Amino acid sequence: MLSRVQVACDRYVIPSVLMTRRRWIADEVYGNRAALIGPHAEHLAHVLRARVGQEFDIVAAGENVRRGRITNIADKRVEFELGEIIPTGAMPRLTLMLSVFKFDRMEWAIEKCIELGAAGIIPVIAHRTESHLAAGAIRRVDRWRRVARQAAEQSRRGSPPEIGQPVKLKEAVKLASTARIVLAESEEKTMLKDVLPSSASSEFTLAFGPEGGWTETELELFRECGWILASLGRTILRAETAAVAATAIAVAQLQ
């Protein structure tokens, strides 16, 4: 005898769920062909068990996203034939200057900020950056780039993220941008939301200090170089929390 639940289910046709195609950032692009290589390809072929003929969204060049059909799967290489261009919404060109802090927390911040919409990350060596972290930062860049790339694919971004080499603050403050804003605990009047650019197409930069914050000398350097000091509010946040919160505010306001 059928249960009431089974009888009820038999009376209705449950619509199938439309699956969104996964998006990949191509390692190689040549004409109407693209390829993933190395661990990138192995994950698609062996973990996700991709097959010839399957279609995915491929970030082919810059912000050009195209439909890609797998034509060949080989050892550490998956090849695609590229088809139609897929429209993508405009995202703010937001760059984050993250003063290097504890690597596990920094990696988490990079992942989440890229997912939220940051276009790039510049690791910065500030006065209060711990010496062993400053020394080890250069060796972490490749890992940060992998994390950022995976985050961009996960969130279906239309362009690959840019993770720069670590630089000292005196060089980083010279970065050209439409708007340059430094988050500072000492700022009490100016809120981040009030100084963000008004156009979603603007290029702008947000700078975050290390654990312990910016020194007064560093804040004066920012002022001399034309940066705007801004606050996230009265609460004191961890470096990674501040970066994620500010990115979310900026992207939400400009979309």
Place of tokens 């927390």: 105
Tokens linked to 22: 């996964």
The model's pTM is: 0.76
Domain annotation for the chain: domains and CATH numbers: 23-85 (2.40.240.20), 93-254 (3.40.1280.10)
53: left (phi over 0), alpha (psi -120 to 50) or beta: left
* Per-residue model confidence as pLDDT tens for the chain (255 residues): 444 434 333 333 333 333 467 888 888 888 889 888 888 888 888 888 888 989 888 888 666 888 889 999 988 899 998 988 877 666 678 999 999 999 999 999 999 999 998 989 999 999 999 999 999 999 999 999 999 988 988 887 777 788 999 999 999 998 877 789 999 988 888 999 999 987 666 788 999 999 999 999 999 999 999 999 999 998 889 999 999 999 999 988 887
C-beta of residue 247 within 8 angstroms of C-beta of residue 118: yes
DSSP secondary structure letters along 86-103: PP-----EEEEEEE---H
Q: What is the SS3 assignment for 177?
A: coil
Closest CA relative to residue 118, chosen from 246, 230, 210: 246
Helix or strand holding residue 157 (H, E): none
DSSP 210: -
DSSP 26: -
Tokens linked to 110: 């990079």
CA dihedral 133, 192, 117, 135 (to 10 degrees): -10
Helices and strands in the chain, H and E counts: 8, 13
Place of tokens 């449950």: 14
Q: What is the SS3 assignment for 5?
A: helix
